């Protein structure tokens, strides 16, 4: 898409290509409000360092008045070496009854010593009268006073004003909404951020209200903060920037309360790659996928495979027609080059794929001369998929399957049996015990190990049996395992699919096992994981 | 939001409130292209019935040329009783070398006997020359011929033309793109659907191109089909409707290749509730949440908790400030009434919540008189959350915890011990065996059971021991269980969190257990599940 072809009145006038848009990350504060999300203090410090590495301009660390963890964050964060970002502390305007200088919340913001302070205040008359329960003019004073008080401190380099519920307020009582913005400007705010706090507004509304603010307060930096309750957070951020905002707020992976905040992993590439604006810069944008996955790991959440730009499926091709076209010209079914956001193209194996996916994935084996083996592979994939296997997320197991069929695989060991026992006596659990019997060439090895659970006990016993034959196993670890019910209506009799992710110093790989028994399913994936490690390490004995 | 306050040039002119927008569901065809998605023939037939129940206008069942399952679908679907929807069969234009009447793909479309046939063709010159490898004028003939051939059959009531890559084509070679649309109109197409096949376009581009088509072919019904590769599929659908489209395509839950299609679960409520247009109608829109969850179950995918409108977290309040405000006036932090889409408000328990969430969730216990008990509850929640528990998705376990602390809970049984053994001999697994010893009042009961796996064996043994004391347990079943690693970097030594969902004829409930041992964690959740059932059934002995 060449910029010259864009005949867009919005993008052209108000966001000239190359304009710099400041990025304000609130993963640590607004993101932590998400259901299932909770960060330890150490998590937050580590994440701040990673956000800086991505190149955001602001890192909102927390609300230092609301809990001890957030207070400690600002104390500890002082020792971080941030190259790009400045820390922002978040808090509300003063209470109606307090002087600004005597308001605990404002004092906490100042005491955080954060160089940027973000104050949110009420825009929507309904909130002023129903939630705060103060008169409308009093709220205006609260805003001006609070911004001015914070701004008067020398260490505070910048005051950001978050106009909470700005858009709802604008469409309910436009005059009053604009007065609240004026009150923040009067107090000395450096940035005015327009918030769609409830996430209910449509792009045309965002555009209209943003244009109006910029018309009136054009000399200010204007920002946008959206929520995804209508599935529109990314679009609303993009539209606001096109309408002239120069500051965009959001969270990594769109973490946040309810349906989440604007996902910076979509907003940034749209601004950089589609509109030609500058956020973290093209070079750093290549770190986006890695950062996204790091945040999921730290937040202990599952990856969202279909997440735009950074998801594992974002450039995954399954339909046979698409796969053959992409093989000819990647632009045919890819809106951007996956590498620009650090992601990669994948070709999936599935019943829908016809031959072309499997052909693509086995290209390195040069099966052109053995069409019957290709047919065997397709049949076996189909048979296993019917049993509940999925190889899309288990590429190491697929590789093993192919090699077994084409006769390029010699098993490294043979299982003769295992036994797992878990005992609970008087309500407290003993360690789980596993014994494993394997044969390597002509030698039979029986080993036993205890673990915290059945998979851990089996894993330990199996490695113990094998490591004397294959010392390279010392360097691999199991990084994660996932369990899915294949056939949920059968509940505990249903088949389960276990996915195991393993790591060694160089790389990581994923294997799959399916069985009605979770122990057996884990075992199958475990064995594949070890076989794959031995295979790729050329199995030096 | 009153329509009178909308000063929007787009919505007002081209989508007058009350206008009817046809809904074209492609979950069964484009949705099935998603990674991890695969539907059996029975699934597809059952889903078609459910989609009709929601009230969509078209159900695209598959591509009857591509595989046997899709051919069988149209044979079997003839016996469905559809009240609202018509079946559509999907396929491509004829091959360059074939006459339309001799093209296998077109013949398959006609043979499907579907009353609606959807033909996709190439818009983008790059695709014509690089993927199809035919001359540009030949593609135009292929489009006209194909549409005309299908349209000539009496049983075909309507031909929908999907202009694949319309927007990319429009911005690459506008004249040619418009010629392809004209070719479909010449062939007799009833609906022209503009597709953002690669999902890379921004809302202002969708708007511009759509307006241009409607200016030129205004007498046609125009439709929109978007993909979510840029996180903009919902916005792009809404914008296209505002620009005058009267037909919207999408999938339930946004299932689909790469980052998915436009999520009808967001598109429909935005059109109905925000723009005042008519899709399935306000009454049927209340079925949306149920349909969304049904499709996840059928597709065997996890719910997406933060999904807009229909997700479990979409109206969940966690932050203490929000909870107190919502208690006063729901509009303060909710963009719509959750009931309009069949969803519900939830108040979450979490360390961030301060007191107000726990207060809200324990209101029915009238703890105002016992502030020390409220403090004990808060402390216990915090302690367990530090251990890895999360009560946000385990409301039954939370209820039990509260009742245990306030002394309103008398245990129904006491665990004296259990043992689980799984044995594999010569590579094949025996059934897993569990023994359970429990005490009910003064009676000790020892029972044993076999299961497909450890959880199933324990579940059976425990019920066997208890059912003679509590026959009501006969009517409950385990509906699902989920396993999450709490502390992933410890891999198999990490703690696991097990969530068990149980059902009886009236309702369903969810419980949680955490342990480094998956068997123990499952056991804890299992016991809570049974205790909750007994508690709510007033435990008739």
Q: Do the Cβ atoms of B422 and A519 come within 8 Å?
A: yes
Residues A172, A127: contact at Cβ < 8 Å? no
Higher-confidence residue of B349 and A18: namely A18
Q: What does the alpha-carbon distance between residue B259 and residue A309 come to, in Å, rounded to a whole number?
A: 8
Mean pLDDT of A110-118: 97
Nearest CA distance, A154 vs chain B (angstrom): 30
Do B79 and B222 fall within a single domain? yes
The 10s digit of each residue's pLDDT in A230-288 is 999 999 999 999 999 999 999 999 999 999 999 999 999 999 999 999 999 999 999 99
Most confident option among A325-339, B25-39, B95-109: B95-109
3-state secondary structure B361-414: HCHHHCHHHCHHHHHHHHHHHHHHHHHCCCCCCCHHHHHHHHHHHHCCCCCCCE
Q: Do the Cβ atoms of A308 and B259 come within 8 Å?
A: yes
Residue located via tokens 């605990």: A104
pLDDT above 50 for A334: yes
Handedness of CA A488, A492, A494, A495 (dihedral sign): positive
Do A351 and A401 fall within a single domain? yes
pLDDT above 80 for A119: yes
Q: What does the alpha-carbon distance between residue A297 and residue A252 come to, in Å, rounded to a whole number?
A: 12
pLDDT above 80 for B540: no
Residue located via tokens 């306030």: B406
Given the DSSP bridges, would you call strands B191-196 and B221-226 parallel, antiparallel or unpaired? Answer: parallel
Interface of B with A in 231-270 (CB under 8 A): 231-232, 234-236, 238-239, 242, 254, 257-260, 263, 266-267, 269-270
Q: Which of B229, B421, B453 sits opposite A314 (nearest CB)?
A: B229
Tell me if residue A132 falls in helix, strand or coil. helix
Contacts of B259 in chain A (CB under 8 A): 306-309, 311, 313-314
Mutate to test the interface with A, among B13, B29, B32, B35 (most CBs of A within 10 A): B35
Q: What does the alpha-carbon distance between residue B534 and residue B469 come to, in Å, rounded to a whole number?
A: 11
pLDDT above 80 for B9: no
Given the DSSP bridges, would you call strands A58-62 and A86-92 parallel, antiparallel or unpaired? Answer: parallel
Domain count, chain B: 3
Q: Do the Cβ atoms of A452 and B517 come within 8 Å?
A: yes
pLDDT above 70 for B424: yes
Please tell me the least confidently modeled range out of A278-292, B132-146, B450-464. B450-464
Contacts of A348 in chain B (CB under 8 A): 35
- Which of these three, B273, B299, B325, is where a domain ends? B299
Contacts of B29 in chain A (CB under 8 A): none
The 10s digit of each residue's pLDDT in B298-329 is 776 777 889 999 998 999 887 666 677 777 77
Mean pLDDT of A91-96: 96
Q: What does the alpha-carbon distance between residue B338 and residue A88 come to, in Å, rounded to a whole number?
A: 34
Q: Which residue range is the domain that position A354 belongs to?
A: 316-406
Do B391 and B262 fall within a single domain? no
pLDDT above 70 for A2: no
Q: What does the alpha-carbon distance between residue A510 and residue A508 come to, in Å, rounded to a whole number?
A: 7
Alpha-carbon distances of A242 from A11, A185, A203, A221, A223, rounded to whole Å: 5, 22, 11, 14, 12
Do B228 and B153 fall within a single domain? yes
Has residue B325 been placed in a domain?
Answer: yes
Most confident option among A329-343, B254-268, B518-532: B254-268
Mutate to test the interface with B, among A306, A385, A428, A516 (most CBs of B within 10 A): A306
Handedness of CA B196, B202, B207, B213 (dihedral sign): negative
Mean pLDDT of A375-394: 77
pLDDT above 60 for A522: yes
Categorize the per-residue pLDDT at B29 as very low, low, confident or very high, splitting at 50, 70 and 90.
Answer: very high
Do A36 and A134 fall within a single domain? yes
Q: Which residues, in sequence order, are CB contacts of B424 under 8 Å at separation 6+?
A: A415, A417, A418, A419, A520, A523, B430
Residues A224, B279: contact at Cβ < 8 Å? no
DSSP result, B89-121: EEEEPPPTTS-GGG-HHHHHHHHTT-SEEEEEE
pLDDT above 70 for B349: no
Mean pLDDT of A114-134: 94
Nearest CA in chain A to B297: A488
- Which of these three, B382, B406, B430, is where a domain ends? B406
Q: Which of A258, A354, A523 sits opposite B313 (nearest CB)?
A: A258
Q: How confident is the prediction for chain A on average, in pLDDT?
A: 88
Mean pLDDT of A6-34: 76
Residues A139, A127: contact at Cβ < 8 Å? no
The 10s digit of each residue's pLDDT in B197-222 is 999 999 999 999 999 999 999 888 99
Contacts of B515 in chain A (CB under 8 A): 429, 453
Do B41 and B180 fall within a single domain? yes
Q: Do the Cβ atoms of B419 and A424 come within 8 Å?
A: yes
Q: Do the Cβ atoms of A491 and B477 come within 8 Å?
A: yes
Has residue A523 been placed in a domain?
Answer: yes
pLDDT above 60 for B189: yes
Alpha-carbon distances of B512 from B109, B116, B499, rounded to whole Å: 50, 48, 5
Instruction: Find the helix or strand (DSSP H, E) in which A42 lies.
Output: helix A41-54
Handedness of CA A520, A525, A530, A531 (dihedral sign): positive
Do A50 and A80 fall within a single domain? yes
Do A159 and A289 fall within a single domain? yes
Nearest CA in chain B to A132: B325
Interface of B with A in 508-537 (CB under 8 A): 515-520, 523
Has residue A176 been placed in a domain?
Answer: yes
Nearest CA in chain A to B307: A259
Q: What percent of chain A has pLDDT over 70?
A: 90
**Residue B304 phi, psi (nearest 5):** -100, 100
Nearest CA in chain A to B62: A352
Do B426 and B455 fall within a single domain? yes
User: A36 — alpha (psi -120 to 50), left (phi > 0) or beta?
Assistant: left
A202 contacts chain B (CB < 8 A): yes
Residues A521, A503: contact at Cβ < 8 Å? no
pLDDT at B300: 67
Strand-pairing partners, residue B501, are B480, B510
Q: What is the CATH number of the domain that holds B501?
A: 3.30.160.270
Do B520 and B485 fall within a single domain? yes
pLDDT at B392: 66
Contacts of A200 in chain B (CB under 8 A): 1, 274, 335-336
Most confident option among A132-136, A190-194, A419-423: A190-194
- Which of these three, B239, B273, B299, is where a domain ends? B299
- Residue B223 burial (C-beta neighbours within 10 Å; 0-12, 13-18, 19+): buried
Q: What does the alpha-carbon distance between residue B106 and residue B121 come to, in Å, rounded to a whole number?
A: 13
Tell me if residue B192 falls in helix, strand or coil. strand
Distance of CA A143 to the CA centre of its chain: 34
Least Cα distance to A344 among A384, A382, A322, A317 occurs for A317
Q: Do the Cβ atoms of A492 and B481 come within 8 Å?
A: yes
Least Cα distance to A292 among A335, A255, A347 occurs for A255
Mutate to test the interface with B, among A518, A524, A526 (most CBs of B within 10 A): A518
Please tell me the total number of residues recorded for chain B in this structure: 541
Least Cα distance to A60 among A11, A102, A24 occurs for A24
Interface of A with B in 437-466 (CB under 8 A): 451-456, 459
Q: Do the Cβ atoms of B35 and A6 come within 8 Å?
A: no
- Residue B441 burial (C-beta neighbours within 10 Å; 0-12, 13-18, 19+): exposed
Mean pLDDT of B128-141: 94
- Residue B484 burial (C-beta neighbours within 10 Å; 0-12, 13-18, 19+): buried
Mean pLDDT of B124-150: 95
Has residue A307 been placed in a domain?
Answer: no
Residues A262, A228: contact at Cβ < 8 Å? yes
Has residue A305 been placed in a domain?
Answer: no
Q: Do the Cβ atoms of A235 and B311 come within 8 Å?
A: no
B148 contacts chain A (CB < 8 A): no
Q: Which residues, in sequence order, are CB contacts of A220 under 8 Å at separation 6+?
A: A185, A189, A190, A191, A192
Least Cα distance to B233 among B274, B275, B200 occurs for B200
A26 contacts chain B (CB < 8 A): no
Interface of A with B in 96-125 (CB under 8 A): none
Q: What does the alpha-carbon distance between residue B245 and residue B239 come to, in Å, rounded to a whole number?
A: 9
Q: Which residues, in sequence order, are CB contacts of B208 under 8 Å at separation 6+?
A: A7, A8
pLDDT above 80 for B294: yes
Q: What does the alpha-carbon distance between residue A18 and residue A388 come to, in Å, rounded to a whole number?
A: 50
Distance of CA B66 to the CA centre of its chain: 25
Structure letter (DSSP) for residue A95: P
pLDDT at B429: 77
Q: Which residues, in sequence order, are CB contacts of B237 under 8 Å at separation 6+?
A: B224, B226, B248, B250, B262, B267
- The token pair that represents A62 in the structure block: 């927390």
Residues B139, B173: contact at Cβ < 8 Å? no
Q: Which of B230, B257, B523 sits opposite A318 (nearest CB)?
A: B257
Q: What is the CATH number of the domain that holds A251?
A: 3.20.20.70
Has residue A306 been placed in a domain?
Answer: no
Tell me, yes or no, if the pTM score tops 0.80: no
Higher-confidence residue of A319 and B369: namely B369
Has residue A6 been placed in a domain?
Answer: no
Has residue A3 been placed in a domain?
Answer: no
Residues B220, B188: contact at Cβ < 8 Å? no
Q: What does the alpha-carbon distance between residue B196 and residue B234 come to, in Å, rounded to a whole number?
A: 12
Do B291 and B372 fall within a single domain? no
Long-range contacts of A5-14 (CB under 8 A, 24+ apart): A5/B171, A5/B172, A6/B171, A6/B205, A7/B208, A8/A242, A8/B204, A8/B205, A8/B208, A10/A207, A10/A239, A10/A242, A10/A243, A10/B204, A11/A242, A11/A275, A11/B204, A14/A214, A14/A242, A14/A243, A14/A244
pLDDT at B233: 98
Nearest CA in chain B to A313: B258
Q: In degrees to the nearest 10, what's the CA dihedral of A453, A454, A455, A459?
A: 100
Residues A345, A317: contact at Cβ < 8 Å? yes
B276 contacts chain A (CB < 8 A): no
Contacts of B317 in chain A (CB under 8 A): 257-258
pLDDT at B363: 72
Categorize the per-residue pLDDT at A352 as very low, low, confident or very high, splitting at 50, 70 and 90.
Answer: very low
Mean pLDDT of A349-364: 62
Q: Do the Cβ atoms of A480 and B491 come within 8 Å?
A: yes
Do B72 and B173 fall within a single domain? yes
pLDDT at B491: 52
B334 contacts chain A (CB < 8 A): yes
- Residue A505 burial (C-beta neighbours within 10 Å; 0-12, 13-18, 19+): exposed
- The token pair that represents B69 in the structure block: 């399952």
pLDDT at A284: 97
Q: In degrees to the nearest 10, what's the CA dihedral of A153, A156, A160, A162?
A: -60
Residues B48, B80: contact at Cβ < 8 Å? yes
Nearest CA distance, B352 vs chain A (angstrom): 7
A383 contacts chain B (CB < 8 A): no
Contacts of A477 in chain B (CB under 8 A): 491
Structure letter (DSSP) for residue B448: E
């Amino acid at each position: 898409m060449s910029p010259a072809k864009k005949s867009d009145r919005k993008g052209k006038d108000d966001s000239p290509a190359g304009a710099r848009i400041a990025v304000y990350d609130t993963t640590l504060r607004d993101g932590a409000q998400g259901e299932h999300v909770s960060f330890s203090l150490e998590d937050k410090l580590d994440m701040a360092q990673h956000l800086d590495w991505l190149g955001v301009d602001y890192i909102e660390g927390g609300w230092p008045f609301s809990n001890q963890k957030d207070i400690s964050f600002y104390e500890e964060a002082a020792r971080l070496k941030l190259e790009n970002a400045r820390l922002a502390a978040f808090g509300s305007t003063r209470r109606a009854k307090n002087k600004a200088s005597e308001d605990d919340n404002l004092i906490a913001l100042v005491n955080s010593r954060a160089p940027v302070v973000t104050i949110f205040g009420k825009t929507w008359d309904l909130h002023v009268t129903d939630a705060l329960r103060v008169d409308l003019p009093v709220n205006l004073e609260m805003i001006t006073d609070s911004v001015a008080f914070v701004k008067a401190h020398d260490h505070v380099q910048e005051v950001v004003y978050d106009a909470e519920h700005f858009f709802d307020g604008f469409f309910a009582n436009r005059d009053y909404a604009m007065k609240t913005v004026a009150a923040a400007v009067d107090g000395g705010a450096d940035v005015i951020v327009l918030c769609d706090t409830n996430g209910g507004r449509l792009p045309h509304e965002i555009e209209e209200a943003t244009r109006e603010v910029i018309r009136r307060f054009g000399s200010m930096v204007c920002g946008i903060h959206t929520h995804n309750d209508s599935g529109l957070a990314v679009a609303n951020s993009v539209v606001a920037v096109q309408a002239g905002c120069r500051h965009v707020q959001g969270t990594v992976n769109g973490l946040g309360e309810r349906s989440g905040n604007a996902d910076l992993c979509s907003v940034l590439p749209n601004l950089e790659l589609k509109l030609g604006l500058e956020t973290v810069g093209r070079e750093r944008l290549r770190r986006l996928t890695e950062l996204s996955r790091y945040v999921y790991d730290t937040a202990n959440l599952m990856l969202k495979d279909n997440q735009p730009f950074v998801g594992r499926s974002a450039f995954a091709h399954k339909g046979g027609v698409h796969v053959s076209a992409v093989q000819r010209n990647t632009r045919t079914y890819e809106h951007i080059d996956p590498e620009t956001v650090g992601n990669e193209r994948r070709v999936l194996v599935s019943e829908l794929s016809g031959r072309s996916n499997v052909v693509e994935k086995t290209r390195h084996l040069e099966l052109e001369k053995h069409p019957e083996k290709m047919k065997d592979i397709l049949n076996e994939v189909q048979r296993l998929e019917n049993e509940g296997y999925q190889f899309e997320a288990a590429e190491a197991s697929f590789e093993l399957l192919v090699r077994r069929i084409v006769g390029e695989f010699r098993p490294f060991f043979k299982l003769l049996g295992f036994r797992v026992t878990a005992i609970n006596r008087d309500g407290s659990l003993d360690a789980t015990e596993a014994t494993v019997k394997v044969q390597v060439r002509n030698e039979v090895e029986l080993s036993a190990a205890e673990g915290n659970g059945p998979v851990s006990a089996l894993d330990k016993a199996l490695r113990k049996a094998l490591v004397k034959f294959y010392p390279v196993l010392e360097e691999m670890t199991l990084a994660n395992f996932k369990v899915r019910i294949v056939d949920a209506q059968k509940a505990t009799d249903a088949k389960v699919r276990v996915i195991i992710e393993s790591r060694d110093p160089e790389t990581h790989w994923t294997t799959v096992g399916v069985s009605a028994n979770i122990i057996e399913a884990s075992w199958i994936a475990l064995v594949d994981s070890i076989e794959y490690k031995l295979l790729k390490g050329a199995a030096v004995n």
